[in-house]
Amino acid sequence: MFALVDGNNFFVSCERVFRRSLEGQPVVVLSNNDGCCIARSNEAKALGVKMAQPWHEVRCLEESDGLVALSANFALYGDMSDRMMSIAAGLGPTQEIYSIDESFIGLDGVRGDLRERALAVRSRILDWTGIPCGIGIGPTKTLSKLANHIGKTAERKPGSYPPEHAQVCDMSKLSRDQIDALLGATAVGDVWGVGRRIGTQLVDGGVITALDLARLDPASVKRGWSVVLERTVRELQGVSCIGMEDSPEPKKEIACTRSFGRPVEEIGPLIEAVSEFASRAAEKLRGQGSHVREVLVFIRTSPFRKDAQYSRSTIVPLRRPCSDTSAIVRAAILGLRSIYRPGFKLAKAGVMLLDLAPESREQFELDLGEAESERDRGRLMQALDAVNDRWGRGVLKVASGKVGAAPRAWGMKQDRKSPDYTTSWEDMPVARA
């Protein structure tokens, strides 16, 4: 049996803890640059504000309905999350923190009445942190997510579900018929794992409710869609297919990307931004004790505008895995220069660190260097050519002319007799505009 503990309208609730006057008001929290709404109070939802809706589209509600908009304060939300999670952990023996405002709790071995226990944890979270939350209990993760949805919806929209499920919805003591009744009252698009695309296809095919989906044959769902949706169907049927992930795995990719407050055309500010993104990403990388082997940088115009569109990305391989900010920043800037073209109103840029490995694997990877050097060199040359193509032949050069004669010059070890060798990718000179 699983529980899902989920903070209601989490970012808004965090803000309300410190600004009691916001209680009962329609409130939204806005993303970076106040671009769009990333959290909504119940009152804001009732006004029709959608998740991720652009702020400029709902700004008029400030005047007409007293909608309050706040810029996001992620440091605060992270701190509140830590407090909520540590209390939620008391509900059962295992916990998986799934997002900033949600955690699954494994309930195997827990004695007593689960609903009572969940209600106690809920009120403790509310008393100690000020965050209201919903708790769903079910025999699979997907059903516990659904129970959580029912708990929150029953509270927010009276009449949508039986009122006894409000706040804490416990499926553990319900019969299959009772569970089916709840599934029948739930739109298929509200099921965890059914997004907009597949939701539309399902509805078009006559699968309207979660119950319709639960009654499909898993094998034909796998044939018609994918193993992912098949798993969802089985979970709805009560067969647990998704287990707890107790110890969080290190990230496989690390990204830092931003939309700009206003369009950017010149390379100067882009270099500043990309350097900042690369530094932030490098910090996160070191934070999980990993090294990176490839740095991806991208820039793009706004797909929402009618201006000339431009979207490019490039992957810059590092000569050796590292977590060194200056090396990562240099690689990101080199990549940026190879994809930058003047004359476009760029709206967004980002840096992603790909192909991460634990620090301890580094030595092993170095031993493979000989085999990989050809490939790396090919990529290096491509990037080199791209830069020279754009900025003029010879703008970017290898520091020494001995590359062809001495393959190891690209390698890992500094040759003491030839200190002018370019010893690593990171030491490449960077072109000047």
Should residue 257 be labelled a site residue for DNA when binding is judged by CB under 7 A? yes
What length does the chain have? 433
Minimum CB distance to DNA smaller for 191 or for 267:
191
Sheet holding 27-30, edge to edge: 37-40, 27-30, 68-71
Which of 350, 396, 410, 421 touches DNA (CB under 7 A)?
Answer: 350
The torsion angle over the Cα atoms of residues 49, 55, 61 and 62, rounded to 10 degrees, is 130
Should residue 263 be labelled a site residue for DNA when binding is judged by CB under 7 A? yes
CB of 309 to DNA, least distance (A): 14
Minimum CB distance to DNA smaller for 68 or for 100:
100
Which of 15, 43, 96, 101 touches DNA (CB under 7 A)?
Answer: 101
Should residue 124 be labelled a site residue for DNA when binding is judged by CB under 7 A? no
What is the number of other CB atoms lying within 10 angstroms of the CB of residue 266? 11
Range 40-79, binding DNA (CB under 7 A): 51-52, 54, 56
Should residue 388 be labelled a site residue for DNA when binding is judged by CB under 7 A? no
Should residue 386 be labelled a site residue for DNA when binding is judged by CB under 7 A? no
Burial 342-367 (b: 16+ CB within 10 A, else e): eebbbbbbbbbbebbbeeeeeeeeee
Should residue 369 be labelled a site residue for DNA when binding is judged by CB under 7 A? no
Should residue 141 be labelled a site residue for DNA when binding is judged by CB under 7 A? no
CB of 155 to DNA, least distance (A): 17
CB of 350 to DNA, least distance (A): 6
Which of 62, 79, 217, 253 touches DNA (CB under 7 A)?
Answer: 253
Should residue 238 be labelled a site residue for DNA when binding is judged by CB under 7 A? no
Which amino acid is it at 348? K
CB of 217 to DNA, least distance (A): 16
Backbone dihedral angles phi then psi of residue 414, each to the nearest 5 degrees: -75, 130
Residue 92: helix, strand or coil by DSSP? Answer: coil
The phi-psi region of residue 50 (left if phi > 0; otherwise alpha if psi is between -120 and 50; otherwise beta) is beta
Minimum CB distance to DNA smaller for 144 or for 422:
144
Should residue 234 be labelled a site residue for DNA when binding is judged by CB under 7 A? no
CB of 149 to DNA, least distance (A): 8
Instruction: Give the dihedral sign, CA 183/184/186/190.
Output: positive
Residues whose CB falls within 8 Å of the CB of residue 368, separated by 6 or more in sequence, listed in order: none
Should residue 377 be labelled a site residue for DNA when binding is judged by CB under 7 A? no
**H/E run at residue 363:** helix 362-367
Residue window 288-327: x/- pattern of binding to DNA, with contact defined by CB under 7 A: --------------x-xx----------------------
DSSP state for residue 174 in the 8-state scheme: -
Minimum CB distance to DNA smaller for 160 or for 302:
302
User: Rounded to the nearest 5 degrees, what angle is found at the Cα of 264, between the Cα atoms of 258 and 267?
Assistant: 100
CB of 208 closer than 8 Å to CB of 194: no
Give contact residues for DNA (rule: CB under 7 A).
31-33, 35-36, 38, 51-52, 54, 56, 98-102, 145, 191-199, 226-228, 249, 251-259, 262-263, 277, 284, 302, 304-305, 347-348, 350, 352
